[in-house]
Amino acid sequence: MKDTKVIFMGTPDFAVPILEMLIENTDVVMVVTQPDKEVGRHHEMEMTPVKKVALSHGIKVFQPTKIRKEYNEVVNTKADIIITCAYGQIIPEEILNAPRLGCINVHASLLPRLRGGAPLHHAIIDGEEKTGITIMYMDKNMDTGDIIATREYIIKDSDNVGILHDTLSVMGRDLLLDTLPSIVERTNKRIKQDDALATYAYNITREEEHLDFNLTAKEIYNKVRGLYPWPKANCLINEQEVKILECFIGDKDSRFSAGTICEINKDNIGICTKDKVVYITRVKPFGKKEMAALDYINGLDKARVLYSIVK
């Protein structure tokens, strides 16, 4: 495969192991990634993780603002295959139709479940029992192309989105490495997706980061795990935003209205949900660093907070 000319399109850390594998096993002639962004209070420009890897290997980097309008450089490169993973823009048909071996995507779910840009988060938030990696041909619609190969991962109760990110990133690299020879030789399978089974994992909105304690304890627990370490779930305690980083479900049934702080213990805060009490163990108060709930509790007026309503 070393003489197979590849264009790789990707942006975040999740895509880095896949790019590194392609550099080792194929001829990566171009990397396409999102434009650099300003970060931090000093608004310093930061390269994408994929760009950093490409430049360290002397690979040409292309960063169009809108790939739908700026596709000629990709098409004119005349690569044998284009491989994408978490690129972040819709790929136009002009690019999809250009390489002789097609455009292949590495997607972090078991398609047709969880099509879209946030499958890692939704796999946990939606209470999926399993997820995984799909290698697929791309078409003009979002994550609807023919499936080439899949690999399953059983989601553990201890998993959060960070753990899932790291696990599936490596799994995607390994599955693509196993599958790529058959794609290059044109001996791979092509399985059409059943649209009737499709579910969707749209990007998380700011509003969706907020916890609604009218949900069940399990739903709250899944949402906290599914939003950590980014972008983090939040609620209002004492009228101030607090990000909830870790929690567990207790044995006690809720005896008060949903959202009531019903316990303040030495190392956690108990909040009533629709059915059970959820115990918060790690938080990030507004404008402060992450901390154990114990440290946060020590700064509270406990008499004022106990039996108050979390919003």
Q: Rounded distance, CA 217 to CA 161, Å?
A: 18
- 226's CB contacts (< 8 A; 6+ apart) are 121, 122, 123, 124, 125, 160, 161
If pLDDT is split at 50, 70 and 90, which confidence band does 299 have?
Answer: confident
Please give the average per-residue pLDDT across 25-43, as a whole number.
Answer: 91
What structural domains does the chain harbor?
5-197 (3.40.50.170), 207-305 (3.10.25.10)
Closest CA to 26 of 134, 151, 177: 177
- 125 touches 222 (CB < 8 A): yes
- The number of C-alpha atoms within 13 Å of 248 and in the hemisphere containing its C-beta is 7
Classify 296 as helix, strand or coil: helix
Closest CA to 9 of 72, 76, 55, 54: 54
What's the chain's length in residues? 311
Which residue in this structure is represented by tokens 């030789």?
A: 185
If pLDDT is split at 50, 70 and 90, which confidence band does 39 have?
Answer: confident
pLDDT the model gives residue 40 = 75
Q: Rounded distance, CA 86 to CA 80, Å?
A: 20
If pLDDT is split at 50, 70 and 90, which confidence band does 43 have?
Answer: confident
Residue 64 has pLDDT above 90, yes or no: yes
pLDDT the model gives residue 38 = 83
If pLDDT is split at 50, 70 and 90, which confidence band does 231 have?
Answer: very high
Q: Model's pTM, two decimal places?
A: 0.95
pLDDT the model gives residue 303 = 82
pLDDT the model gives residue 114 = 98
Please give the average per-residue pLDDT across 167-189, as a whole number.
Answer: 97
Percentage of residues in the chain having pLDDT higher than 90:
93
Please give the average per-residue pLDDT across 77-105, as a whole number.
Answer: 97
Residue 187 tokens, joined:
């001996």
Percentage of residues in the chain having pLDDT higher than 70:
100
Please give the average per-residue pLDDT across 209-235, as a whole number.
Answer: 98
If pLDDT is split at 50, 70 and 90, which confidence band does 302 have?
Answer: confident
- 6 touches 100 (CB < 8 A): no
Q: Rounded distance, CA 99 to CA 266, Å?
A: 61
If pLDDT is split at 50, 70 and 90, which confidence band does 219 have?
Answer: very high
Residue 51 has pLDDT above 90, yes or no: yes
Residue 131 identity: T
pLDDT the model gives residue 41 = 74
If pLDDT is split at 50, 70 and 90, which confidence band does 47 have?
Answer: very high
How far, in whole angstroms, is CA 163 from its chain's centroid?
A: 10
Please give the average per-residue pLDDT across 214-220, as a whole number.
Answer: 98
The better pLDDT of the pair 45, 25 is held by: 25
The better pLDDT of the pair 302, 190 is held by: 190
248-298 residue pLDDT tens: 999 999 999 999 999 999 899 999 999 999 999 999 999 999 999 999 999
Residue 301 has pLDDT above 90, yes or no: no
